[in-house]
Structure 1
Amino acid sequence: MHDQSSRSGAFPAVKTCHWRGLKGPYLTLVLLCLLVSGCSRPTVLERIQQEQVLHVITRDAPAIYYQDQDGPGGVEYELAKRFADHLGVELRLQVADNLGEIFSILDQDYTHFAAAGLSVTESRRQRFRFSPPYMQARPLVIFRRGVDRPLEPADLEGLKLVVLANSSHEQRLVRLAKLHPGISWTARADIDSLGLLAAVNEGEFDAAVLDSNELAMNHVFFPDVLKGFPLAAKVDFAWAFPAGADDSLLNEARSFFRDIRQNGTLAQILERHYGHLDRLNYVGARTFVHHLRRRLPTYQALFLEAAETYDVDWRLLAAIGYQESHWRPNAVSPTGVRGLMMLTQNTAEYIGVSDRLDPRQSIMGGARYFKRVLGMIPENIKEPDRTWFALASYNVGFGHLEDARILAETDGKNPDRWLDVKEYLPLLAHKEWYSKTKHGYARGYEPVVYVQNIRRYFDVLAWMEPADPSAQMVAEEEEESLEQTLELPAGETDVADLDSSPVLPLMPAAL
């Protein structure tokens, strides 16, 4: 297990530490209470409130917990942090190196619970206790492009297969091997889900088993990894609690999950992390990374200048520019929208752009316009939804966005949540709905796709490029490695041939 505290100094409410010695304070409190006052042993929840710290063990993975230059993130982190806030205590994260370590710490009761992307299986139920599930996913067989696609368990015989050690997938393979003796695998404790994907993508292994949510989160970085077949039905994911602890904390967790499910918070967290992951297919991923390497350096300084001028993340501006024109300064649409940021004539006049085909004017103008649109979004709408609303407004217009928000509110949904409003924007293309609105018809499907695409492009840029290039943290060999993984298989169309095609919303990936 490793200590992440050195990377989280800017976030004092979230600390990470080694687990060793955590029981000492508990024992001291209990003994003092018994000796001085003769009181009964406090419950787990009472000890947490006395110490004012919630100890949670997790693991590094994009879908679970991570640290970047913007601070901690991940579905499990957000849920655990909200639970700690619900209890009114500090969250102290312990980051384990692998699943085996997590289970060992739970067995020894050295943490309050594990929030580590754990699926609920019968064998684990016999060992731990679980909170209500917060999401479901499907265990998938994935394989490398060029390998015959496995369609059923028998097809795994003879393949070089890899899984994470101590995972539920390894347990499933043990059962399958009894029916198909030709199935063999390597169980790795030294890598995480990203390492597993890389091992398949680079040809070290033919296939692997991975949860569908982790594939969706990371597939864009490993486009030579393809989906084979589901190894089982959907499984629940939940927090795991030590078997020997009392029910006080688990009951509080049950109440917490009931509340966030009922008030929509849980759905909003899951949408934030998974609601945009189906927008970048294999060709789109290769094309984007190719252009990131070849075209973006020409305009990166301009995006940085615009970002500094208008206080917007340059990677978001670059993602908008890519969605608009694939970073082509001379791009022109059939309707006369033109330039790298694809400004209309009216918009250009509104923001003072005289030459839409000039890259600097286009980028500075696009940033200026986005900042103005962002300023129109009601202040009570919090990030990141505020940015998603601004992007939709940038695409379809503020009036149509407001129409969709009113439709959502009239229908009993939350007009301040992108999760709800994005369901109503497409209705603006249907007369039965737009006839009820102030601004009338709009191609409401487009802003939904537009926002999802930009969110995905931003994901890749955030992974490959620092927010501040002067503090470069991405090694050149890492970028070179990613470029190599995205090279075209023999006989396929080169990305350069795609430049003559119109810029259209990407089709959903076939995950």
Structure 2
Amino acid sequence: MLTTLKIARRLLMTLAGTAILTGSVRPYLLDQIKDSGTLNVVTRNSPTAYFEDRSGPAGYEYDLIRAFAEYLGVELNLIVVNNLHDAMDVLLDGDTHIAAAGFTREQTDDYDVMYGPAYSTVSEQVIYRRRNHQPVSLADLQGGRLMVTAGSRHASTLRRWQRQELPTLTWRETTELDASDLLQMVSDQELDYTLVNSSEFRLVQSYLPNLDVAFTLGEVQTVAWVMPRLADASLREKIYDFFLRPETGMLMETLSERYYGHVGQFDYVGAHRFLRNSIRVLPQYRAAFEKAAEKYGFDWRLLAAMGYQESHWNPTARSYTGVRGIMMLTQRTASDLGIEDRLDPAQSIRGGSRYLSQLRERLDESIVEPDRTWMAMAAYNVGLGHLEDARGLAQDMGYNPNLWNDIKEVLPLLSQKRYYSKTRYGYARGSEPVTYVQNIRRYYDVLIWKDETQLTSEQEQNAENTGVTVIPPLTDDTSVVPLTEGAGNPQPEAL
């Protein structure tokens, strides 16, 4: 891939030189951006591109394009839209430089655009509810309640298949709801099927354990930043340079860990138990978690997730080691924290939250968030000494001791003599804190999902009554262009 990027860069440099020889006096686009001090970027509001949480703007695409703006030494001016068509309209209006929204080349080939290097891949998936009949082809979706987002690649896919192979296929398209909403509706049995990108489904598997992939459509597709084709090559070349930097590779690893590293599917029974307990049990302890969170500077949902991992919110829980209560405190730790009764839920939650805060404060100041909190939780589980041993090993092995993504690779080594014999605190079951932190992060995501992004009754009403277009079957079957038969579900030819 590096060779390909280098060849492309030489070609772009040749084109730039040609512009000079032909007497062009207009400044290169890159120079214009630097002179103005602003990079204009359009993105879309989605879990994989851009969203806002309690700490402000976030998202894989947002963090990546922000780093590119910093690389150029300019400010980022972000325009946020909701779908592909709006993004392309903004991009091609003459003032916007890049679309960074997780779009694939196949999605945008119909527009007058060019691309930066491919930096990710996605596939198109049909999602259904586990206990229902599993479809194996688009033909099996006929007669079912199928909805996709209007203006998406999925709508285009369905239209191609309808024209070329399945003229009787019908579905609905919505301008009001995104992939997360549609997946929730499938989970709630308001829809039978939807189509989403693999990256989008990966993010919600933990929240919606009753959903699964029915089948994958077509080939894996590449994701790249998009630019107007009429723009000169200077910005595109700089994007290639940016992605070739080792620092960008490390950044992408960090972002993958931050947004996807903890993502995974719980076992079906365990996930349903957690969702049930979050409705039946958590409300009676929510006020205590909120009070502790406000006092010690945490999100209450993170503390609640930690409490579930510790005890399943059981105030009388006990382990074979003698730790007890919702936050599973040792007698010594409870005494040090001034906790008189470990079995009192409010005291246990307050004590556990204070202890986590103390661990976070004791970590080296070079560790920043969110890695600082993940490491504090690991120390809560395995002990601060063992965590520092792992950080020392990480340093010796060429890893970054300040990144959780690296530390979670090193911690399991503390159970191997050739590694723990070199450490101060010796042997530890190092895989346990890794699982501990990853589980908490999954529980935390589910609580955020329930608290902030679950469909409201008003949204459900919108889904039924507004912003929805029914795509009818084709009436003229002679217009159907047969697809080439192949294994599985062949990719329809582009129109």
Question: Partner amino acid for 2:237?
Answer: N
Q: Which residue of 2 aligns with 1:284?
A: 270
The answer for the alignment partner of 1:374 in structure 2 is 360
Give SS of 1:116's match: coil
Query: SS at the partner of 2:316?
Result: coil
- Aligned positions of 1:353-432 closer than 5 A: 353-432=339-418
Question: In 2 relative to 1, CA 125–85 (structure 1 residues): closer, same or farther, beyond 3 Å?
Answer: farther
The alpha-carbon distance between structure 1 residues 39 and 149, as it changes in their structure 2 partners (threshold 3 A), is: closer
List alignment gaps of at least 5 residues for structure 2: 1-22, 462-495
Q: Which residue identity is paired with 2:409?
A: E
Scaled by the length of structure 1, the TM-score of the pair is 0.78
Q: Is the 8 A contact 1:107 1:243 kept in 2?
A: no
Amino acid at match of 2:330: T
Shift of 1:434: 2.6
Cα distance in 1 for residues equivalent to 2:428 and 2:225: 43
Q: Deviations over 1:452-508 (max 9, x none)?
A: 111122223334448xxxxxx999858999xxxxxxxxxxxxxxxxxxxxxxxxxxx
CA distance in 1, matches of 2:456, 2:213: 29
Q: Secondary structure at the match of 2:205?
A: helix
Q: Give the Å deviation of 1:370.
A: 0.6
What letter is aligned with 1:330? T
Q: How many residues align?
A: 438
**What residue in structure 2 maps to residue 51 of structure 1?**
36
Alignment equivalent of 2:226, drawn from 237, 240, 254: 240
Q: 2:199 aligns with which of 213, 238, 243?
A: 213
AA in 1 matched with 2:147: V
> Is residue 118 of structure 1 aligned with residue 103 of structure 2?
yes
Q: 2:216 maps to what in 1?
A: 230
Instruction: Supply the RMSD in Å over aligned alpha carbons.
Output: 2.9
Per-residue CA deviation, residues 188-247 of structure 1 (Å, 9 max, x unaligned), is 444321232134233343212211111121234434432212223432222111111111
**SS of 2:67's equivalent?**
helix
SS in 2 for 1:118: coil
Equivalent in the alignment of 1:147:
132
Q: Is residue 112 of structure 2 the alignment partner of residue 98 of structure 1? A: no
Match in the other structure for 1:303: 289
Question: Which runs of 5 or more residues in structure 1 are unaligned?
Answer: 1-37, 467-472, 482-511
Residue 157 of structure 1: how far off its partner (Å): 4.5
Cα shift at 1:266: 1.0
Measured after TM superposition, the shift of residue 175 of structure 1 is 4.9
TM-score, length basis structure 2: 0.81
SS in 1 for 2:172: strand
- 1:254 paired with 2:226, answer no
Contact 1:319 1:458 in 2 (8 A): yes
* Structure 1 position 315 matched with structure 2 position 315: no
Q: Distance between the aligned counterparts of 2:155 and 2:53, measured in 1?
A: 30
Residue type of the alignment partner of 2:366 = N
1:165 aligns with 2:150: yes
Q: 1:337 aligns to what?
A: 323
Q: What percentage of aligned pairs have identical amino acids? A: 45
How far apart are the structure 2 equivalents of 1:179 and 1:480? 32
Distance 1:229 1:61, change over 3 A: same
**SS of equivalent residue, structure 1 residue 143:** strand
* Amino acid corresponding to residue 284 of structure 2 in structure 1: T
Matched-pair contact (CA < 8 Å) for 2:207–2:449: no
- C-alpha contact (below 8 Å) 1:373/1:393 kept by paired residues: yes
C-alpha separation in 1, matches of 2:437 and 2:47? 21
Equivalent residue number for residue 131 of structure 1: 116
Report if the CA contact (8 A) 2:181-2:455 is conserved: no
Residues 263 and 146 (structure 1), Cα distance of their counterparts in 2 relative to 1, 3 Å cut: closer
Indicate the residue corresponding to 2:337 in structure 1. Answer: 351
Match of 2:148, SS? strand
